[in-house]
Amino acid sequence: MSKLKGKIAIVTGGGSGIGEAISTLFAAEGAIVHILDLNIEGAFQVVNAIHQAGGLAQAHEVNVSDQQAVSTLLVSIGQVDILVNNAGIAHVGSLEKCAEADFDRVMNVNVKGAYNSLYAAVPLMKAQGGGTILNLASIASVVGIADRFAYSASKGAIAAMTMSVARDYLKDQIRCNSISPARVHTPFVDGFIAKNYPGMEDEMFEKLSQSQPIGRMAKPIEIAKLALFLCSDDAGFITGNDYPIDGGFIKLNN
């Protein structure tokens, strides 16, 4: 278990869900993981679990939409071998149900947050001779999902940013790819169902699960394992690509 031995990995939104799974797996593979999360209690819980398993990790309370805070932290860390832009929020609603404040909130976290981390990490990677970047996009960036206007727009931006960074920094030995998951069973999904469909939790969970042709939601660890491959030397010839991990949603859901 040493695919990332000695690597310094930054994982935004690493305090829960997919980010937690990525942070835990990366630490198990030898990385020194820095979790950036506004939910510092969740981040500390993940770090404590990593420490108990014999890994190395630190938690940092950071709002990724604050460029100065992100830049200051990454400069203080000094070395960034891997950046995983995972932090993100969702919004349910079509265009007409997406107020300006909702749109701005999603863009500030999902798009500006990724930009801020990229803006801080890329110069460090250039100075040290290279690095690896993985952005969390979504199937929403390539297919139409009902009532996800702002979220889809933000993930479309992530996909485009991935291509741009991959092309611009080829000569600097910086690889940049993205992952596009379909629905993943995280605490966010459980909370969303409980809030919006009280008394119908089991029925809605099954309905959402069946929207993937494979018949279930993804597990966070399944996303983390793809992230591990793309951020390891095993993927040294891969850059500028998006990888759907969707239970057949894009190609088979027709």
- Spatial neighbors of 17 by CB under 8 A, at least 6 apart, are 184, 186, 187, 188, 220
Chain centre distance of CA 2: 22
Q: Which of 115, 119, 151, 169 is catalytic?
A: 151
Whether the Cβ atoms of residue 79 and residue 128 lie closer than 8 Å to each other? yes
CA distances from 9 to 16, 29, 179 (A): 16, 11, 17
CA distances from 241 to 38, 104, 253 (A): 29, 27, 22
Alpha helices in 15-145 (DSSP H): 17-28, 40-52, 67-77, 100-106, 113-128
Query: Catalytic: 197?
Result: no
Name the residues annotated as catalytic.
151
